[in-house]
Structure 1
Amino acid sequence: MKKYLLSVWMLLACLLGSCAHTKNGKADAAGGTIVPAGVWNDVDGTYINAHGGGVLYYEGKYYWFGEHRPDEGFSTKVGVNCYSSDDLCHWKYEGVALAVSDKAGDDIEVGCIMERPKVIYNARTKKFVMWFHLELKGKGYEAARAALAVSDTPAGPYRYVGSGRVNPGIYPENMTDEERATEWNMDEYKEWWTPRWREAVNKGLFVKRDLAGGQMSRDMTLFVDDDGKAYHIYSSEENLTLQIAELTDDYQGHTGRYIRIFPGGHNEAPAIFKHDGLYWMITSGCTGWDPNEARMFSATSIWGPWTQHPSPMVGPDAEKTFGGQSTFVLPVGEGQYIFMADVWKPKSLMYSAYIWLPIRFNEAGMPVIEWKNRWNLQF
């Protein structure tokens, strides 16, 4: 993030009070604060419906993309919403960035499942590129596809390009020759979580099963490195293993280079950032809509090796990530970041709440995310 973003922090100290709301929806009167447990409305007073999302910064404006979730039910009926803000405080509804299709049989027809949309900008092509997790209508979570849409403007509308599994016919580069040569009889591994099954998963049981059609891609995020290279990080292998795949120079495809990390670790909801040359990733476990303890990993290279650390969460309900699940880490200014999470409410997913908390670093250089009932950006 450019140094000129530092000025944003000064603005936010004065402005954030108007976007932080108490549970009854009234603006917080303290001024200069974020209330993570509050109600988040746009400038028109309408509840922000942008779940599992991420934020793009472009030419002085922030764009928040997220899932439009229904008041009742589960599947996608509208598409991906977009909100914009000059100050991370006053959010204007820009409309539906990517709408579902009314045509039966389309990948994104009404009733599909569109999750975890993330948008990045390609300076070379001058295109805004959206990737998201897609499940086909009526197929449950069977498809496990990565889907692509592009636009000439940040808020869209985005043009749907297509979807599919990741890197068909290609092995991860950190899979050994012995593992690649192993043939598996899937009928022998119908019972999960046995020691024999775990060993098979570690050695690539599901990679081999899905090799021809490509790797599964569910909960996901995107990351653009300092050199402009972009990466797709996603939960794969039946949500058992994280994979990191390099995107092509136009960000609209995969190069074929990818790795798998923590096989069998059951990680999802990845959120990644880079601080002082070190890559950090925060994930959750897989417990459905119920919150669980966050996991944290680090690496000196995007290609690993990755090391697991204790959860960075500190405070009440830290063992449950304060009731939330990670979705994105937003860099703002030099060495300052905001951890973003969703508090899922399955009885009415539209009204799932948001948690935004600052990330600080302790004396050992480890990220710490401490619960605060209210906070300002001078942390």
Structure 2
Amino acid sequence: MNRIRITMLCLLVVPALLFSQNVITPGGVWSDDKGEHIQAHGGGIIKLGKKYYWYGEARRADNDTSYRYVGCYESEDLVHWKSRGHALKLSDPEQLGQRWVLERPKVFYHKKNRTYVMYFHLDDARYKLARVGVAVSKTPQGPFKYLKSFRPLGLESRDIGQFIDDDGTPYLIFESRPTKGFYIAGLSDDYLDVVKEVCFIRSPLEGGAVVHYKGLYYAIGSALTGWNPNPNKYATAKTLAGPWSEFKDIAPPETNTYGSQSTMMLKVEGTKAVTVIFMADQWKPKTQWDSRYLWMPLQIGEGRLWLPEPQPWTLNIKTGEWKPAGDQRKVPF
């Protein structure tokens, strides 16, 4: 009987200990400081000083369907997140009708103007508008004020991503269906417009993400399969302008990227190591509020990139080092 009690106690204590050790569990329910499921789907992250801000689609089941919401969360360790409420609450801005779309919000900080600029995919229910929307705020948590929408470089734009290079230069990544590829584009001086085509990658991919690591640029994208996951792929280049290599799988293709779709690659630079985190969404189209997040450190370097089989892991935000968590059980997908 004592052995049974000890075993049960261990089952209760071990998960608590793992959480206290800053464990990230890919595919698990990720709760904020209020104990609520984080609502930052299709999101992006910026770092300001020691704080990280995570923005994404807030798809709570009880949302007022007259609005679209962008959630904002704040953290200093990328594990424990404080809810900062809705950075954006927006009613139909362009008379698009019911079921209009706001997806994949990304925020840039304009240091000179001390303003925060949010880009997002804006569309109608049939995905015919194909624009980006722009909103601004004086604080990272908002509220953001809607300014306008447009087609970047005059082109259709659906899934968008963001990339901020090591020198601070911001770029918008957007997929253009008619041209069968995606663009990396430079922003205007005030960040309120897209003014320069840096590169067109002729590959029909969405969910675009870019990172600069040890002298090479790595780009990741997802095939055009809607809500269904597929084998995400990557390519490399010495400059953003290319030329880019052929695309290769980032994980065993039969896993469909472990049921996920890319949204960003986040580089964590510490005193001892640099870790690149693959940020992805595991979409649940019928219960979108319960969609999960798959975050996992990438094996990256010398032109190669690989997503290991997801498992719980810990991150030392100061040193930049990561390691598998004490519990080696695999995460079910």
TM range (shorter): 0.7 to 0.9
Question: What secondary structure is seen at the aligned counterpart in 1 of 2:299?
Answer: strand
- Alpha-carbon distance in structure 2 between the residues aligned to 1:72 and 1:93: 17
TM-superposition CA deviations, 1:75-97 (whole Å, max 9, x none): 77331111111221211111111
- Alpha-carbon distance in structure 1 between the residues aligned to 2:178 and 2:98: 25
Within a 5 Å distance, the mapping from 1:145-294 to structure 2 comes to: 145-167=131-153, 214-238=154-178, 240-262=180-202, 265-294=203-232
In the alignment, structure 1 residue 373 sits paired with structure 2 residue 311: yes
Compare 368-377 and 270-279 and name the one that shifted more.
368-377
Greater percentage in strand: 2
Instruction: Give the equivalent residue in structure 2 for 1:358.
Output: 297
TM-superposition CA deviations, 1:135-189 (whole Å, max 9, x none): 13xx42000001111111111111111001112xxxxxxxxxxxxxxxxxxxxxx
Instruction: Give the equivalent residue in structure 2 for 1:87.
Output: 77
- Alpha-carbon distance in structure 2 between the residues aligned to 1:361 and 1:303: 21
TM-superposition CA deviations, 1:228-284 (whole Å, max 9, x none): 32211111034821112111122111224343211xx32000111110121111111
- Alpha-carbon distance in structure 1 between the residues aligned to 2:248 and 2:197: 29
Alignment match of 1:77 (pick from 31, 55, 67): 67
- Alpha-carbon distance in structure 2 between the residues aligned to 1:78 and 1:284: 24
- Supply the AA of the counterpart residue of 1:99: K
TM-superposition CA deviations, 1:315-360 (whole Å, max 9, x none): xx76400000001111111531111100010111111111000012
**TM-score after normalising by structure 2:** 0.83
Instruction: Give the equivalent residue in structure 2 for 1:199.
Output: none
Gaps (5+ residues) in structure 2?
A: 1-11, 316-321, 324-333
Gaps (5+ residues) in structure 1?
A: 1-23, 168-213
Alignment match of 1:130 (pick from 118, 143, 165): 118
Q: 1:299 to 1:76 in 2, by over 3 A?
A: farther
Q: 1:90 to 1:239 in 2, by over 3 A?
A: farther
TM-superposition CA deviations, 1:290-334 (whole Å, max 9, x none): 1100110111111111112422225xx764000000011111115
Give the alignment's Cα RMSD to 1 decimal: 2.5
- Alpha-carbon distance in structure 2 between the residues aligned to 1:59 and 1:122: 14
Q: 1:77 to 1:238 in 2, by over 3 A?
A: farther
Query: How many aligned residue pairs are there?
Result: 300
In the alignment, structure 1 residue 349 sits paired with structure 2 residue 297: no
Q: 1:76 to 1:310 in 2, by over 3 A?
A: farther
- Alpha-carbon distance in structure 2 between the residues aligned to 1:140 and 1:301: 36
Q: 1:251 to 1:105 in 2, by over 3 A?
A: closer
Following TM superposition, the consecutive aligned residue runs of length 4 or more in structure 1 with deviations greater than 6 angstroms are none
Q: CA deviation at 1:59?
A: 2.0
- Alpha-carbon distance in structure 2 between the residues aligned to 1:285 and 1:143: 21
In the alignment, structure 1 residue 321 sits paired with structure 2 residue 257: yes
Within a 5 Å distance, the mapping from 1:12-91 to structure 2 comes to: 28-30=16-18, 31-71=21-61, 77-91=67-81
- Alpha-carbon distance in structure 2 between the residues aligned to 1:230 and 1:109: 32
Q: CA deviation at 1:227?
A: 3.1
Kept after mapping to 2: 8 A contact 1:100/1:109: no
